[in-house]
Structure 1
Amino acid sequence: MNKKRPETARQYVVGVLRAKILRGEHMAGARLRQEEVAAQLGVSTTPVREAFRDLLAEGLIGLDTHRGVLVRSLTLADVRELYELRIVLEPMLAIRALRMATPAHLDAAEAIHLQLCDEPDPERWATLNVSFHQALHAPAPDGRLARMVAGLADAAGSYVTLSMHATPELMTSNNRDHAQLLQLYRSGKEKELGAKTAAHLEQTLLAIERDVEIRDVLLDKTA
């Protein structure tokens, strides 16, 4: 399958910069200059500025008063905290969503699942992965729990993308997990759904921990 350029210049810039940061091509502490990035990617400075806002929200870059936009490091402490919270909260939201889900809700999630199964690109897979879980959780009441889970999932997105780049076969195992989650939603098995949701997150955490450690070792060797 040929890779397609994302729909907007902003998405294109976000995808390129995110991939470079996650692969260590832009090292922690490196300065990103708006004009240089625009020239390198053949875009105007507007989508670069918009992309910087997105990457700032993801925690991949930070702002320094004197030096401007700087690449942030991805730490194991950060990812463990995110996933410890997700493992507690997300099964609760999944069960609430199951109780309100209609066949139409699950059909929408399954359509995204089929796209995931056909998607070999880590960046696009990670984006579809977010959409898949959002579709599963959509039937749940729009309250504090839903907002907390969504915020934690957004914050974890960069780590998920890192693991998909480092270990592409994880996309296949995650697709199998997604099929099982859909089956549990359709069968109405609350207890099993909660356990599978937690196990799915725990598996992702283990993969991310391994890949962050490997990346840090490789970067230390090349420093």
Structure 2
Amino acid sequence: MDSRRPQTARQYVVGVLRTEILRGTHQAGARLRQEEVAARLGVSTTPVREAFRDLLAEGLIGLDTHRGVLVRGLTLADVRELYELRILLEPRLVVSALALALPGDLAAAEATHLRLCAELDPERWAGLNVVFHRELTLSAPDGRLARIVASLAEAAGAYVTLSMHASKELMAFNNADHAELLQHYRNGDAEVAARKTAEHLEQTLRAIEENVQARLTRSDRIV
């Protein structure tokens, strides 16, 4: 999504609620009422309902049969599982993408990289980061592997946002890492690009762990 374009009501609600959850405004287990959120944010209930679906997919909220929509909170166990799967699967997708890559296939990722380097807002940076990683492998076959990797990256986005809020210098660090990753793609060296992808994801996981540890409660939840 182009962060310079006007937001839809749905995007606005998602952004506000995501930020509130990540910053601890809503504690884990808190109930979110559709009508109350709509009134507070000055929108109808439709974009709130749509935003709840997005946040459910990200793992930030859950559904309880009796209590409705509840803030789920984030856990280190969850982020570790997400990144372990990404570290296992994403390098394989890189190899598939580079095997079919054509001149010009990196144009979108290169353009997004420039926007990442100019972006200072943690939420928008994290959103562009998901786009960047997806664009790197656009030439890969549109199969189950690509869909799984995309789903994992989307789910990890909330953790990336939280980490960037905690330590904004991580944006500059990751931008430099992305530049190196792009160069490996340009060189067409699938083995090196795949290895660098795994290293990048491992570094990201370590940074997230370090920057959210202080926000854990005794129940091992980020609040």
Task: Tell me the TM-score range normalised by the shorter chain.
Answer: over 0.9
Residue 117 of structure 1 corresponds to 117
Separation in 1 of the partners of 2:28 and 2:217?
14
The letter of the residue matching 2:167 is: T
Q: Deviations over 1:12-62 (max 9, x none)?
A: 100010011011111000011111111211111111111011101111001
The letter of the residue matching 1:34 is: Q
Contact 1:58 1:158 in 2 (8 A): yes
What SS does structure 1 have at the residue aligned with 2:66?
Answer: coil
What's the % identity of the aligned pairs? 72
What SS does structure 2 have at the residue aligned with 1:151?
Answer: helix
Q: 1:169 to 1:6 in 2, by over 3 A?
A: farther
Q: State the Cα distance separating 1:102 from its structure 2 match.
A: 2.1
Separation in 1 of the partners of 2:140 and 2:80?
26
TM-score between both structures, scaled by the size of structure 2 = 0.92
Structure 1: gaps (5+ residues): none
Q: Deviations over 1:79-110 (max 9, x none)?
A: 11111111111111112111222232111110
Residue 20 of structure 2 corresponds to 20
Separation in 1 of the partners of 2:123 and 2:89?
26
What SS does structure 2 have at the residue aligned with 1:70?
Answer: strand
Separation in 1 of the partners of 2:11 and 2:88?
32
Structure number with higher helix proportion = 1
Matched, 1:152 2:148: no
Separation in 2 of the partners of 1:144 and 1:13?
30
Residue 212 of structure 2 corresponds to 212
Contact 1:6 1:12 in 2 (8 A): no
Contact 1:18 1:60 in 2 (8 A): yes
Separation in 2 of the partners of 1:5 and 1:165?
22
Structure 2: gaps (5+ residues): none
The number of residues matched between the two structures is: 219
TM-score between both structures, scaled by the size of structure 1 = 0.92
- Please show how residues 102-181 of structure 1 align to structure 2 within 5 Å: 102-181=102-181
Residue 101 of structure 1 corresponds to 101
Residue 199 of structure 2 corresponds to 199
RMSD over aligned Cα atoms: 2.0
Contact 1:106 1:136 in 2 (8 A): yes
Separation in 2 of the partners of 1:218 and 1:161?
22
Q: State the Cα distance separating 1:67 from its structure 2 match.
A: 1.0
What SS does structure 1 have at the residue aligned with 2:70?
Answer: strand
The letter of the residue matching 2:82 is: L
Separation in 2 of the partners of 1:4 and 1:184?
29
- Please show how residues 26-41 of structure 1 align to structure 2 within 5 Å: 26-41=26-41
Stretches of 4+ moved more than 3 A in 1? 3-6, 217-220
Residue 83 of structure 1 corresponds to 83
